[in-house]
Amino acid sequence: MIELRTPAEIEEMRPAGRFVAEVLTRLSAEAAVGVNLLELDAIAHQMIRDRGAVSSYIDYHPSFGASPFGKVLCTSVNDAVLHGLPFDYRLRDGDLLSLDFAVAVDGWVSDSAVSIIVGRERPEDRRLIDVTSAALDAGIQAATTGSKVGDISAAISAVATAAGYSINTDFGGHGVGRTMHGDPHVPNDGRAGRGFPLRPGLVIAVEPWFLETTDEIYTDRDGWTLRSADGSRGAHMEHTIAITDDGPIVLTARG
């Protein structure tokens, strides 16, 4: 079911968005050569406890997950692009790291993701991240009252295809509210003018993710982490936004 939020409810959602942004900013600064993925998860876990927030991940067990997730943060490294389950791995120079984080604050959820390069950059990784970020910006700009979900999808895919990246539509954006995942689904490829109409009060996560040379993925043996079929690297960007008559509000904007 698709729910529309009142202006007052959108204001109530702002603290969750600010907290998610704060955590991702902190983790991006902490992610350095030699830092363990489990250390990043522990930092996020402590920040959740200190804030009195509730993790949207730790007990999450959808049909595509092998078991409850068990961690509070997704850490996807290099050929991993989504749902990366933190494990005993120390970041290396040149790693491409995607961080995805969602919590509830006072009953309202926000969800966001960012990709960064640890240490020295590979030009191919910088381009992939920049294109994914540009696709996120384009999707948000298309999220205006009177448009359709397909307009967001088309804006994202236009950026990706112009850069030569193919698009997987198995996973994409989604509604956000009292729970992390709700309707409508917001695919990263679609036709402009199609789909659910964007109305004031609709809160969604816009979530482009691309792989360098494929759109095929498989699930790692951990039962969660999604990796590219050909070993190429991936990038993932996401913001939770609210549709208003005055344009989209990015609830998870960082700095």
Q: pLDDT (tens digit, 9 = 90+) per residue, 217-239? A: 999 999 999 999 999 999 999 99
* Domain range annotation of the chain: 7-250
Residue 175 has pLDDT above 90, yes or no: yes
7-250 CATH choice from 3.40.50.1820, 3.40.50.1370, 3.40.640.10, 3.90.230.10: 3.90.230.10
Residue 115 to residue 100: CA distance in whole angstroms: 9
Q: What is the pLDDT of residue 226?
A: 98
Cis peptide before 68 (omega within 30 of 0): no
Q: What is the DSSP letter of 119?
A: S
Binding-site residue numbers for a divalent metal cation are: 100, 111, 174, 207, 238
Binding-site residue numbers for substrate are: 83, 181
Binding-site residue numbers are: 83, 100, 111, 174, 181, 207, 238
Q: What is the pLDDT of residue 1?
A: 87
Q: pLDDT (tens digit, 9 = 90+) per residue, 83-124? A: 999 999 999 999 999 999 999 999 999 999 999 999 999 999
Residue partners of 253: CB distance under 8 A and separation at least 6: 17, 21, 239
pTM, whole model, 2 decimals?
Answer: 0.97
